[in-house]
Amino acid sequence: MTTALTLLASPLPLDIGIGGMTCASCVARVEKALKKVQGVQTATVNLATESARIVYAPGEQIEARLRRAVRDAGYEPRAASAAIDAPDASPWAGFMPVGIGLALSLPLLIPMIADLFGKHWMLPPLWQFLLATPVQFVLGAHFYKAAWGAVKALAGNMDLLVALGTTAGWALSMWLWLTADAGTMVHLYFEGSALVITLVLLGKWLEARAKRQTTSAIRALHALRPEAAHLIGVDGEVDVPVAEVLVGDRIVVKPGERFPVDGTLLEGLTQVDESMLTGEPLPVTKETGGKLTGGSINGYGRVVMQVAAVGSQTVLSHIIALVEDAQAAKAPIQRMVDQVSAVFVPVVLVIALTTLLGWWLTGHAFELALIHAVAVLVIACPCALGLATPAAIMAGTGVAAKNGILIKDAQALELAHKVDVMAFDKTGTLTVGQPKLTALVVPAGIDSLEALRMAASLQSGSDHPLARAVVNEARQKTVAIAAPTQVSAVPGRGTEGRVGTRSFLIGSLRWMDELKVDISSVAAQAAALQGQGATVSAMAERTADGLALRALMAFGDEPKPGAMQALAALRARGIKTVMISGDNRGAAEAMARRLGLRPEDGEVMAEVLPGDKVARVLALKKDGHTVGMVGDGVNDAPALAAADVGMAMGNGTDVAMHAAGITLMRGDPLLVAAALDISARTVAKIRQNLFWAFAYNAAGIPLAALGILNPVLAGAAMALSSVSVMGNALLLKRWKPASSDAKG
């Protein structure tokens, strides 16, 4: 009962889509409204995805209250995946209001252009009124609605600035027209208000097109899910929706089709294209017993698979969840933007009022003073600020996922490029992780095959790479393997248990030394094997006279392809590389030298127990370093979590991938440098975007206040700021990791 209550009380995440947000001020306003709802612990709003991620304590109707809070703030609550699930739109989708605005505004613009060439054309005031008014109050109705919502919430946003500025221009024109003497040609400003609204609509349309491109990575991942599966049922093969497939079902997959779920190959031989999941362009051969991943493409063979995971438990679902989490997250650098956005609109309103009074009180005409104030209101759009960070994060995480690098959170993305020490686990990370038994040494009077049988029997229930190596060797020599009993693992040391009536221990030489096992008869051979880079273990038997040595086993592993190049690439970036291994120093240093590491420079940490890896990582952090950790096993998970940036190999355990901020789907060490590179490029784009967003306002507001920019140019500059920020972020989509280039 207590457990059930604990589960009910634990915080829950919720994603809500939000329609109607236009700028960074909107983001701040929605976040503030959500955080006021009782039970909400955190609320993060993302302008680029038009969504909110809320973590809340369970409560009565809290989801309804959250959606009501969004609506009361002046925005529309939607399904979280509305932007993703929407059908692919035409490139011209949503352009009609912009086209109508251009058609009505261009006749107003022609006299302005003619003035530049000395031609003084002027449309009659009635015509100007008839052209500008539909733009102002029909096409611009959205701005009024959103501005009124902001006013009711005692807040400000881009829509309020646009509505105030354009209404002032339209109203001034009406006043000048209606108060002018009959027959007098008076200069009106209808063209300014109409063109500003049209340009803002054009900017928002271009921005929406760019947003659709930033979500293309998620769309592509969702598209990998087939709608139906060929189920082998009691009546033969039948097509059923994928949602009805159960674990254990047998499914037929034909050549060229995508595997609908995760499973194991039962019948057939084929090659599988896993490029959308791992970034690896070459097909992978799959034989009976091979693992199949939902979303990958079957090659040339008709195969039968047995379902191992469905729904949210599949690898593809985990990948989609990781990418969505990263794109919904808010990078630490965004906090500065949030602080600026909170006061931005009120400050702009004060500047606009100061501009109006300053020009008017210094003897200038009120209409001129008002036009300059309008220009200030129009150019000071904070939408570029709101898009600067999330647009870059979405583009960066999306292109990284396409190339086999899953970035789980924005903090890992922002920190990765600062890493100056990268620590690697050895087995399975820098090495293949499939060691072989290379030598079996037994004391005099011991039968080697019998010793191998005892060792393989004791290890037959273990998934440890060294245990598998012993079992594989026994099977190759057709040695009978018995079922062990009372088996228990001794963390960081080895295994003990019984085979029949006999009791054995298998573990490191360090453990044997702790247990006072006499290994003097094979000590010279052990030292020689370690000097050659082998990992050496021993097997002892409990006898009436104490523990007696029964065998010495040497294991050899091979470096992963690309591991040496990966370490060299990191060193070229000025990053110190360290290998952490539980092996004895001789074996660890021998492998390190094969990988190009320099033990004499402290690049090898040997004889490290699994529980001590965290301490080694923390020791590196204490020296002021930003530390990355790369691993693949369960015992690496604490160290991955302790590092500033944890990277898990995709061929490793789920525990390691859960603890790490970044997952490398191919398990390719070369992707480590690639992950640091995309981090650096994404952060660079964020900084560039923030610079341009601030620069537009820092330069534009004074120019408008001084009368150098008119409202039309201010509107164009404001639209350009948002489009340029989105366009700059989308340049990340062209990124390719060096490992892909190297592989052709």
Share of the chain above pLDDT 90, in %: 29
Cα(146)–Cα(18) distance, integer angstroms: 13
CATH architecture type of domain 246-309: Distorted Sandwich (2.70)
CB 647 within 8 A of CB 640: yes
Cα(445)–Cα(568) distance, integer angstroms: 48
Q: Supply the pLDDT for residue 5.
A: 41
Cα(78)–Cα(16) distance, integer angstroms: 6
Q: Which of 40-44, 65-69, 718-722 comes out lowest in average pLDDT?
A: 718-722
Residue 644 DSSP code: S
Q: Supply the pLDDT for residue 587.
A: 79
By DSSP bridging, strand 627-631 and strand 297-298 are unpaired
CATH architecture type of domain 2-85: 2-Layer Sandwich (3.30)
Element (H, E) at 14: strand 12-19
Which tokens hold the place of 635?
């015992």
Q: List CB contacts of 163: < 8 A, sequence separation 6 or more.
A: 140, 143, 144, 146, 147
Burial category of 701 from C-beta neighbours within 10 Å (exposed 0-12, middle 13-18, buried 19 and up): buried
Cα(406)–Cα(410) distance, integer angstroms: 11
Cα(609)–Cα(580) distance, integer angstroms: 10
pLDDT at 565 over 60: yes
The pTM (predicted TM-score) of the whole model is: 0.69
**Could you tell me which of 387, 383, 386, 391 has the C-alpha nearest to residue 213?**
391
Q: Give the three-state DSSP class for 498.
A: strand
- With cut-offs at 50, 70 and 90, classify the pLDDT of residue 326: low
Cα(227)–Cα(423) distance, integer angstroms: 43
The alpha helices in 362-443, defined as continuous H runs, are 366-379, 383-402, 410-416
List, for residues 36-66, the tens digit of each pLDDT value.
999 999 898 888 778 898 999 887 788 899 9
Cα(22)–Cα(387) distance, integer angstroms: 9
List, for residues 570-591, the tens digit of each pLDDT value.
999 999 999 998 777 887 888 8
Cα(494)–Cα(341) distance, integer angstroms: 58
Which residue has tokens 């047995």? 306
Q: Supply the pLDDT for residue 8.
A: 46
Cα(241)–Cα(260) distance, integer angstroms: 10
List, for residues 600-641, the tens digit of each pLDDT value.
888 999 888 766 888 888 888 887 889 999 988 666 778 888
**Cα Rg, the chain, nearest whole Å:** 33
Q: Which residue type does 89 have?
A: A
Residue ranges of the domains in the chain? Answer: 2-85, 96-216+324-394+683-734, 246-309, 404-432+559-681, 436-556
CB 645 within 8 A of CB 628: yes
pLDDT at 3 over 50: no
Task: Give one DSSP letter per residue of 238-272, joined into a string.
Answer: EEEEGGG--TT-EEEE-TTPBP-SEEEEEE--EEE
Dihedral sign from CA coordinates of 542, 543, 545, 549: negative
CB 158 within 8 A of CB 722: no
Termini Cα distance of the chain: 58
Average pLDDT, the chain: 83
Q: List CB contacts of 466: < 8 A, sequence separation 6 or more.
A: 435, 459, 535, 537, 553, 555
Return the half-sphere exposure (C-beta side, CA atoms, 13 A cut-off) of residue 158.
28
Q: Which residue type does 188 have?
A: L
Cα(521)–Cα(477) distance, integer angstroms: 26
Cα(423)–Cα(425) distance, integer angstroms: 7
Task: Give the residues across from 507 on adjacent strands.
Answer: 494, 538
Angle at 287 between CA 285 and CA 288, to 5 degrees: 160
pLDDT at 744 over 50: no
Residue 367 phi/psi, 5-degree rounding, is -65, -40
Burial category of 700 from C-beta neighbours within 10 Å (exposed 0-12, middle 13-18, buried 19 and up): buried
The alpha helices in 560-669, defined as continuous H runs, are 563-572, 585-594, 613-622, 637-642, 654-659
Question: Greater confidence, 311 or 340?
Answer: 311
Q: Supply the pLDDT for residue 313.
A: 86
Q: Supply the pLDDT for residue 216.
A: 64
Cα(495)–Cα(489) distance, integer angstroms: 4
Cα-based torsion angle of the residue sequence 652, 653, 656, 658 in order, rounded to the nearest 10 degrees: 120
List, for residues 371-420, the tens digit of each pLDDT value.
899 888 888 766 677 778 878 888 888 888 888 888 877 778 888 999 99
Q: Supply the pLDDT for residue 743.
A: 41
Residue 115 phi/psi, 5-degree rounding, is -55, -35
Q: Supply the pLDDT for residue 574.
A: 92
Helical pair 670-705 and 383-402, crossing angle rounded to 10 deg: 160
CATH code for the structural domain at 436-556: 3.40.1110.10
Element (H, E) at 645: strand 645-649
List, for residues 192-248, the tens digit of each pLDDT value.
788 888 887 887 787 677 666 656 666 777 778 888 999 998 888 899 999 899 999
Active site residue ranges: 425
Share of the chain above pLDDT 70, in %: 88
Q: Count the helix, strand and coil residues of the chain and give each as a percent rounded to the nearest 5.
A: 55, 20, 30
Residue 562 DSSP code: T
Q: List CB contacts of 125: < 8 A, sequence separation 6 or more.
A: 177, 186, 188
Task: Give one DSSP letter per residue of 600-611, joined into a string.
Answer: GGT-EE-S--GG
Q: Supply the pLDDT for residue 278.
A: 64
Helix and strand element counts for the chain (H, E): 28, 26
Q: Supply the pLDDT for residue 651.
A: 65
In CATH, 404-432+559-681 is 3.40.50.1000: yes
